A = this chain, B = another copy of it.
Amino acid sequence: MSHTLGIRQAQKQKTRQALLDAALGLLEEQSLSSLGLREVTRAVGVAPTAFYRHFRSTADLGVALVEEALGSLHPMIRTTVSGTGDQEERITRAIELIARHVDGYPAHVRFIARERHGGVQPVREAIRDQLSRFAGEVRDELAKDPVSEGWSEDDLLMLAHLYVDQMLITASLFLEALEGPEEAREEREREVARVATRQMRLIGLGRHHWLD
């Protein structure tokens, strides 16, 4: 199905990606609603009007960034929530994975945290949709777990949302730990991991006694 693109299409995609990358960089110090189209094209080194060949507006670009930041994360979620090992092991693994993701893609994480409640409606909606998909997928995986026997679909989804929100909060805290003085960075990261682990453990406890 995948057709090798011509020189033309390839160059276009390259410019498009450059615009996305430049925007993501600029968004580390501001919100999407203040990001100017000229600012982005200037950073890339193309004429302002070239922007319109790829996006209708910066809001449109924002929606594309949501797809880039969250779209490829769905398989990751599934394999993380399910997987083998006892509860404690799974928690450690999940948090380790979040930490690695934040380390690898800090700008993406920052963008999602920032624009989830940000000033640009279409972007908020795009993020909400993706997170809803995540919650649904987490629910599906939870349903497979023997611990979930006797749970209603409704209760599974409520727990899934709790997990998703908790993951986002943890990611945001890892991000905070990442910036700031290099000096005690590792220690700050360990502290975030320590607290997040215990919070997940407590939620897990609540889960095991839900049907009491």
Binding site for B on A (CB under 8 A): 27, 29-34, 110, 113-114, 116-119, 155, 158-159, 161-162, 165, 169, 172, 195, 198-199, 201-210, 212
Partner of A195, one of B113, B117, B158, B207: B158
A162 to B206, CA, bound (A): 13
A32 to B172, CA, bound (A): 20
A138, chain B: closest CB distance, angstroms: 14
Q: For A27, A32, A33, A204, which residue has the most chain B Cβ atoms within 10 angstroms?
A: A33
A114 to B119, CA, bound (A): 7
User: Which chain B positions have C-beta within 8 A of A118?
Assistant: 31, 114, 118
Minimum CB distance partner of A118 in chain B: B31
Contact check, A198 vs B155: say whether CB atoms are below 8 A apart.
yes
Q: For A117, A162, A195, A205, which residue has the most chain B Cβ atoms within 10 angstroms?
A: A117
Minimum CB distance partner of A175 in chain B: B117
A42, chain B: closest CB distance, angstroms: 18
Sorted nearest first, the 4 A-B pairs with minimum C-beta distance are: A206-B206, A34-B34, A31-B31, A31-B119
Contact check, B34 vs A119: say whether CB atoms are below 8 A apart.
yes
Partner of A31, one of B34, B195, B198: B34
A32 to B212, CA, bound (A): 47
User: Which chain B positions have C-beta within 8 A of A199?
Assistant: 158-159, 161-162
Minimum CB distance partner of A197 in chain B: B158
A129, chain B: closest CB distance, angstroms: 13
Extra inter-chain contacts (10) besides given A29-B119, A31-B31, CB under 8 Å: A27-B119, A34-B119, A158-B202, A162-B199, A165-B165, A202-B210, A203-B206, A205-B205, A206-B209, A208-B209
